[in-house]
């Protein structure tokens, strides 16, 4: 398997964390978004990372598809719950993250890209999503119960980005459970492994593995 990835991309991060956690070893090709390798574009012309090329020639070019496949095939219980209602609820929360929260995060983090002068509205809207996470984390250590799930790993990289825009403002939010949850993920060995630095891949390079 080959994974095209970009270290700082939150979508690529969650795919790498899922692969690492499941113990699935694959070749890791670090990509420069400004100079995407032709081999990656041949596999997935839409040109976003992550892209996972499977040995049978199939290509997964959506991070959630990569995570779901890994969770289904290599993990049990909460990662990919047998309970259909729980699975639907997890995918709904991830969908909310990927669409609404990401929308507000982008505008809060990069106001100049969107011609925005006052980011307060986006901070508040993003904060609304965080309040929902806090309510869940008050009830259990992870978003869907006592163990880490697909949803925790899918959402964590985006909360990390939101927190990093103005760390003091984030730390001042009255969300102690969310702060603990984020800190635990940031301190985890899984995150440390997924954030190792690699030089961008070029054809002919010796393979580097994500293991
Ligand atoms: N829906 C995609 C989104 C992936 C995505 O947007 N990745 C960004 C980097 S974080 C990207 O590759 N953008 C292309 C570019 O900047 O040229 C997924 O979940 O995999």
| Distance of alpha carbon 50 from alpha carbon 161, whole angstroms | 18
- pLDDT of 8 reads 97
pLDDT digits (tens, 9 = 90+) for 168-177: 999 999 999 9
The three-class DSSP label of residue 147 is: coil
Do 198 and 7 touch, CB atoms closer than 8 A? yes
The pLDDT of residue 27 is above 80: yes
Verify whether ligand 1 is closer than 6 Å to residue 48 (CB atom): yes
Verify whether ligand 1 is closer than 6 Å to residue 33 (CB atom): yes
pLDDT digits (tens, 9 = 90+) for 63-72: 999 999 998 8
- List Cα–Cα distances, 151 to 45, 146, 205, in angstroms: 28, 13, 35
Q: CA triplet 17, 141, 24: central angle to 5 degrees? A: 20
Domains of the chain, residue spans:
2-76+192-210, 77-188
- pLDDT of 194 reads 97
In the reported structure, the alpha carbon of residue 102 is separated from the centroid of ligand 1 by a whole-number distance in angstroms of 12
What is the DSSP code (8-state) at residue 58? -
- Residue having the nearest C-alpha atom to atom 16 of ligand 1: 33
Do 150 and 90 touch, CB atoms closer than 8 A? yes
In the reported structure, the alpha carbon of residue 92 is separated from the centroid of ligand 1 by a whole-number distance in angstroms of 20
The pLDDT of residue 78 is above 70: no
The pLDDT of residue 77 is above 90: no
Mutate to test the pocket of ligand 1, among 5, 11, 14, 157 (most ligand atoms within 8 A of CB): 11
Nearest to 187 by CA among 177, 197, 195, 176: 195
Atom of ligand 1 nearest to the CA of 8: 10
Verify whether ligand 1 is closer than 6 Å to residue 63 (CB atom): yes
- pLDDT of 81 reads 87
In the reported structure, the alpha carbon of residue 67 is separated from the centroid of ligand 1 by a whole-number distance in angstroms of 15
pLDDT digits (tens, 9 = 90+) for 34-52: 999 999 999 999 999 999 9
Length reported for the chain:
211
Q: Give me the mean pLDDT over the 107-129 stretch.
A: 98
Q: What share of the chain is helix, strand, coil (3-state, %, to 5)?
A: 60, 10, 35
User: What is the second-level CATH architecture of the domain 77-188?
Assistant: Up-down Bundle (1.20)
- Residue having the nearest C-alpha atom to atom 10 of ligand 1: 9
- List Cα–Cα distances, 73 to 47, 77, 149, in angstroms: 26, 12, 14
Atom of ligand 1 nearest to the CA of 47: 14
The pLDDT of residue 156 is above 70: yes
Verify whether ligand 1 is closer than 6 Å to residue 49 (CB atom): yes
The pLDDT of residue 210 is above 70: yes
Q: How confident is the prediction for the chain on average, in pLDDT? A: 96
Q: Give me the mean pLDDT over the 100-109 stretch.
A: 98
In the reported structure, the alpha carbon of residue 44 is separated from the centroid of ligand 1 by a whole-number distance in angstroms of 12
**Residue 208 banded pLDDT, cuts 50, 70, 90:** very high
Verify whether ligand 1 is closer than 6 Å to residue 5 (CB atom): no
User: Does residue 50 have a cis peptide bond before it, meaning omega lies within 30 degrees of 0?
Assistant: yes
- pLDDT of 199 reads 97
**Residue 75 banded pLDDT, cuts 50, 70, 90:** confident
Q: Give me the mean pLDDT over the 16-28 stretch.
A: 95
Instruction: Count CB atoms within 10 A of the CB of residue 110.
Output: 12
Q: Give me the mean pLDDT over the 54-83 stretch.
A: 90
CATH superfamily of the domain spanning 2-76+192-210: Glutaredoxin (3.40.30.10)
pTM, two decimal places:
0.97
């Amino acid at each position: 398997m080959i994974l095209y990835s970009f270290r700082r991309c939150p979508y690529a991060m969650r795919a790498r964390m899922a692969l690492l956690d499941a113990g699935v070893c694959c070749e890791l090709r670090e990509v420069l978004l400004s100079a995407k390798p032709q081999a990656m574009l041949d596999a997935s012309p839409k040109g976003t990372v992550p892209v996972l090329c499977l040995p049978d020639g199939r290509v997964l070019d959506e991070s959630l598809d990569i995570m779901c496949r890994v969770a289904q095939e290599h993990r049990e219980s909460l990662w990919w719950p047998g309970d259909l209602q729980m699975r639907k609820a997890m995918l709904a929360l991830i969908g909310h993250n990927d669409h609404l929260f990401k929308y507000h995060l982008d505008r809060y983090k990069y106001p100049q890209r969107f011609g925005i002068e006052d980011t307060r509205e986006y901070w508040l809207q993003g904060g609304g999503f965080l309040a929902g996470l806090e309510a869940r984390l008050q009830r259990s250590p992870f978003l869907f119960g006592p163990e880490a799930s697909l949803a925790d790993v899918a959402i964590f990289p985006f909360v990390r980005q939101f927190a990093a825009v103005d760390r003091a403002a984030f730390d001042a939010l009255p969300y102690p459970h969310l702060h603990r949850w984020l800190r635990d993920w940031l301190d985890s060995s899984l995150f440390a492994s997924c954030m190792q630095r690699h030089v961008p891949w070029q054809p002919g390079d010796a393979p580097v593995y994500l293991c």
